[in-house]
A and B are shown apart, each in its own frame.
Chain A
């Protein structure tokens, strides 16, 4: 019998390793050990149910969660390994309302397969996209991605296909594909979960990108705070080479591509693409001025595709099923699905992949179930530390790049952090500046100096020193940073600050 216990680091942070160990021991006690196969899968993304144990039955995979290691013996004795309704029995996992309401394209295999099994990967539709791509001329692959309307999932939302077209048309003997896996935004963890749960999808997406633009070398810049993801991806690359998915002759096509993992070193700014390129080159992560754009002069000055993990991991599905199937999801200019991540003070945190257009309130209340503290929701921050704080009154906002921009907010990488009514929004605004001051690369003055002045100004406002004048000064500073900073770090730090002042002004009057 097959039993699944996630190896995802979030699941392990609440005891999945101990549960897996205990299961083997308990099965040995009942004499079932010989038939027991424990698969360490990725997480289904229902993080409040972790550790979530799944047992394969004739009807499908049934779940139990959360399971504590000390409960395993009792559950096994009660027939868990046969799918009995004992303990935290959940029924068929794929029939749970939380799963049924989602449309999983990018995350289709995460939590389902053994992340490092090439057999599992192919059995669940893996490589279909790459095979389709290799059967087409590279330029047609680029146009498929253009037609899909896929926009960069890292935050900026730039059309992926247009970027690829620029790199493809650049005349150079050496080009690169770089994956930005420096997922430093608090409240975002989809890149980590995809890499830990289905790394071959990222490898496949990068290989398609390389074929499309004419690159032979790829780099994944992965943050050091994700050691499990680093280990899983390196192991997956090794296996991909062994079976000929990477190397001088990818799938026997004659096309050659190989890739390496490079580990970051604790600098948030390296999530900014030009800073990431500097870091990959072995330099300080100082932001570059644009132009020149990385598509023309990127890594070591060569034409370079820089895409986020989720953008690249979505490409195989687009190539496998066609651009039209992907475009059928979504609203307006936000096509396809997006992977939203619920975190912070939320009752049911986790991954929600669904078409763009779902409202913020549906995500926080229907999927998230409100706060974990049981207190009322007061604010949510969408899009990471540089995203806006929104009040409950804006819960009818649809998750779509343009609608959020119009509301002075951003979807970003799809992270949603929930706060209850004990939050001090002046403290959160101050923290936004503090974080910017600590993480600024220092190249441009609005960011380097502005962040420090911002902290000081908020301190004066909160302490009641010339409050009205300092609120005006704060707005002026925010405008300057927005307009004058070289990159999104200084340019967007005002977003959480301004939104906190606008929607939660009473917190600045204390």
Chain B
């Protein structure tokens, strides 16, 4: 992800158009395009929606509807590191709710938010499929199991 690089609007629009055009031949290309845009540019900006709609010959409202339906698609850049904590039943049975509370306190923001310094984004996730080794936490794309509050602090320390 290129969150550090500032991309100007015209450059971004051109790149989004290239990505959309490249994938437009797939059956049902919209989700792959949105994933590709987010992967490369960090998030799906509002002007991107119109560009993608234009390439796919869809109404802007249709693309907007899809972008906002799925939790994965960000409308704003994430922090430098994203920390996701599983809050589903299996992790709850081994303390995931208390772990989330601890995370909010030590990070200083809630789920779905980014710290003021832009370093960390905190997310809640419903299941990484690590249900026998919970609580499960993902830091910068890497999965960790049996995460205690102390272990989380250590991981957050490394991430900062």
Bound-state Cα–Cα, A264 to B127, Å: 14
Which residues from chain B contact A420 at a C-beta distance below 8 Å? 93
- Among B35, B91, B93, B144, point to the contact of A423 (Cβ < 8 A): B93
User: For residues 39 through 82 of chain B, which have their beta carbon under 8 Å from a beta carbon of chain A?
Assistant: 62, 65-66, 69-73
Of chain A, the residue at the smallest CB distance from B84 is A225
Main secondary structure of the interface of A (DSSP, over half): mixed
CB distance from B58 to the nearest CB of A (A): 9
Q: Mask for A249-271, Cβ within 8 A of B = 1, else 0?
A: 00000000000101111111000
Which residues from chain B contact A417 at a C-beta distance below 8 Å? 89-90, 93, 131
B89 engages A349 (CB within 8 Å): no
Pick out which of these stretches binds chain A: B2-10, B25-33, B113-121.
Answer: B25-33
User: For residues 117 through 160 of chain B, which have their beta carbon under 8 Å from a beta carbon of chain A?
Assistant: 125-134, 136, 141, 143-146
Q: Assuming the A-B contacts A265-B71, A381-B89, are A9 and B133 also in contact, with contact meaning beta carbons closer than 8 angstroms in the complex?
A: no
Bound-state Cα–Cα, A77 to B155, Å: 31
Main secondary structure of the interface of B (DSSP, over half): loop
Q: Is B109 an interface residue (CB 8 A)?
A: no
- Among A185, A267, A415, A428, point to the contact of B69 (Cβ < 8 A): A267
A279 engages B31 (CB within 8 Å): yes
Which residues from chain B contact A10 at a C-beta distance below 8 Å? 129-130, 132-133, 143, 145
Of chain B, the residue at the smallest CB distance from A349 is B132
Q: Is A321 an interface residue (CB 8 A)?
A: no
Q: Is B88 an interface residue (CB 8 A)?
A: yes
Of chain A, the residue at the smallest CB distance from B137 is A13
Q: Assuming the A-B contacts A10-B145, A435-B126, are A282 and B29 also in contact, with contact meaning beta carbons closer than 8 angstroms in the complex?
A: yes
Q: Mask for A270-282, Cβ within 8 A of B = 1, else 0?
A: 0000000001111
- Among A281, A341, A344, point to the contact of B93 (Cβ < 8 A): A344
Pick out which of these stretches binds chain B: A97-105, A186-194, A398-406.
Answer: A186-194
Which residues from chain B contact A415 at a C-beta distance below 8 Å? 90, 131
Q: Is A395 an interface residue (CB 8 A)?
A: no
Which residues from chain A contact B19 at a C-beta distance below 8 Å? none
Which residues from chain A contact B72 at a C-beta distance below 8 Å? 224, 264-266
- Cross-chain pair count, CB within 8 angstroms: 151
Which residues from chain B contact A228 at a C-beta distance below 8 Å? 143
A267 engages B129 (CB within 8 Å): no
A266 engages B132 (CB within 8 Å): no
CB distance from B85 to the nearest CB of A (A): 12
Q: Is B15 an interface residue (CB 8 A)?
A: no
B131 engages A13 (CB within 8 Å): no
Which residues from chain B contact A50 at a C-beta distance below 8 Å? 133
- Of B66, B128, B141, the most chain A CB neighbours within 10 A belong to B128
Q: Mask for A38-65, Cβ within 8 A of B = 1, else 0?
A: 0000000001101000000000000000
B30 engages A282 (CB within 8 Å): yes
B89 engages A262 (CB within 8 Å): no
B90 engages A14 (CB within 8 Å): no
A345 engages B93 (CB within 8 Å): yes
Q: Is B12 an interface residue (CB 8 A)?
A: no
User: For residues 330 through 378 of chain A, which have their beta carbon under 8 Å from a beta carbon of chain B?
Assistant: 341-346, 349-350, 372-373
Bound-state Cα–Cα, A435 to B86, Å: 13
> In the complex, how many residues of chain A place their beta carbon closer than 8 angstroms to a beta carbon of chain B?
61
CB distance from B115 to the nearest CB of A (A): 22
Q: Is B37 an interface residue (CB 8 A)?
A: no
A189 engages B92 (CB within 8 Å): no
Which residues from chain A contact B35 at a C-beta distance below 8 Å? 224, 263, 265
- Of A187, A268, A341, the most chain B CB neighbours within 10 A belong to A187
Which residues from chain B contact A381 at a C-beta distance below 8 Å? 89
Q: Is B16 an interface residue (CB 8 A)?
A: no
- Of B34, B65, B134, the most chain A CB neighbours within 10 A belong to B134
Q: Is A158 an interface residue (CB 8 A)?
A: no
Bound-state Cα–Cα, A206 to B131, Å: 27
B133 engages A283 (CB within 8 Å): no
A284 engages B145 (CB within 8 Å): no
Which residues from chain A contact B13 at a C-beta distance below 8 Å? none
Of chain A, the residue at the smallest CB distance from B65 is A284
- Of B30, B127, B145, the most chain A CB neighbours within 10 A belong to B127
B89 engages A187 (CB within 8 Å): yes
Residues of A at the B interface (CB closer than 8 Å) are: 9-10, 12-14, 47-48, 50, 183-189, 191-193, 224-228, 260, 262-268, 279-285, 300, 341-346, 349-350, 372-373, 381, 385, 415, 417-420, 423, 428, 431, 435, 439
Can you list 5 pairs linking A and B with CB atoms under 8 Å apart? A193-B129, A282-B66, A344-B89, A344-B131, A423-B93
